[in-house]
Amino acid sequence: INNDFLSKSNHPLAQKYDKPILENHHWAMTNELLIHPSMQCDILSGMNAAQKEEFLEIVHAAIMATDMAVHKTICERLETKAAQIDDMGLGEESTRGPGSFRVRKSVMPFNINDKEDRIFLVGAVVHTADLSAQGMTPEVAYAFGRGCLEEFHAQYLLEGEKGLEQSAFMKDLDQPVSQGKAQLSFIDFVLLPLWTAMRSFFPSVALPADRIAERLAEIDFDNIKEWGGLSTMLVDRPQKKPESEKIHINEKLGTDMLEQGTKPAQPDAPALRLPDETKALP
């Protein structure tokens, strides 16, 4: 489940932490691990007070950077820095892989002596690492992608069960085409802008950046059932019917029974359940 679900369901974590909920929870747990004496893992013992303060500030910023709400801001700032290099006429073109990217050698438009630059760059690197699964080997990328699709589908169903507004991008993920569209949009609009920008400053990320572009090119809607990232578990799983549909089925069964002269179940009798419906329920 994500921050949106925690917020609209008024989850205990949402009552405890400000937004972003999960990231503030992660920071609270990390901070406790680092500084609470009972944890016995004080890796900061060799630092003075000023060094500890700066270290914790950087760790906090890195954790906050994993919030997808700041993804656009991170990408825009990286792209602005990359444009500064373009304006200076530095860098060289590389056509390695399915896309064309500009690669810089030994050029870093961040000032190591600037605290703000250091903190931002750490956050950007952690954010990129947090979105690195599609840059790994195909087998790992597919498995991770399928896991995300399955988690999103489970959250969509849970939102419906709880009467919450359902997340539009999680809809119909039990359908192959919808899975392909979801992954295509994620790679095209989220991953590639970030990894292309990071590649501008760190040529060593060329391989995962190329792999991400390859995962995008593999999504063929004419042969979507052959796509390696397809979660067949969702497609093949018997789907749980919404409560409203089950009520409609039971009402129809009662009407059919009356028309056939069969006595329907009395109010104090066990609830009538269709055998096939029973099997479909988890």
pLDDT in tens, 24-66: 999 999 988 888 777 677 788 889 999 999 999 999 999 999 9
Q: What separation in angstroms does the CA of 242 have from each of 62, 84, 110?
A: 40, 53, 53
The tens digit of pLDDT for each residue in 6-18 reads: 999 999 999 999 9
Task: Report whether 85 contacts 109 (CB < 8 A).
Answer: yes
| pLDDT at residue 106 is higher than 60 | no
Q: In this predicted model, what pLDDT tens digit does every residue of 113-172 receive, in sequence order?
A: 899 999 999 999 999 999 999 999 999 999 999 999 999 999 999 999 999 999 999 999
- Cα dihedral 270→274→276→277 (10° resolution): -70
The string of DSSP letters for 96-145 reads -SSS-EEE-SS---S-TT-HHHHHHHHHHHHHHHHT-GGGS-HHHHHHHH
pTM of the full predicted structure? 0.76
Distance CA 251, CA 253 (A): 5
Q: What pLDDT band is residue 256 in, cutting at 50, 70 and 90? A: very low
Contacts with 175 (C-beta within 8 Å, 6 or more apart), sequence order: 235
Spatial neighbors of 192 by CB under 8 A, at least 6 apart, are 99, 212, 213, 216
Side-chain half-sphere CA neighbours of 128 within 13 A: 24
Contacts 24+ apart (CB under 8 A), 90-98: 91/200, 94/206, 96/206, 96/210, 97/206, 97/209, 97/210, 97/213, 97/214, 98/210, 98/213, 98/214, 98/217
Residues in the chain: 282
User: What value does the mean pLDDT take over residues 224-250?
Assistant: 67
Per-residue model confidence (pLDDT) at position 87: 59
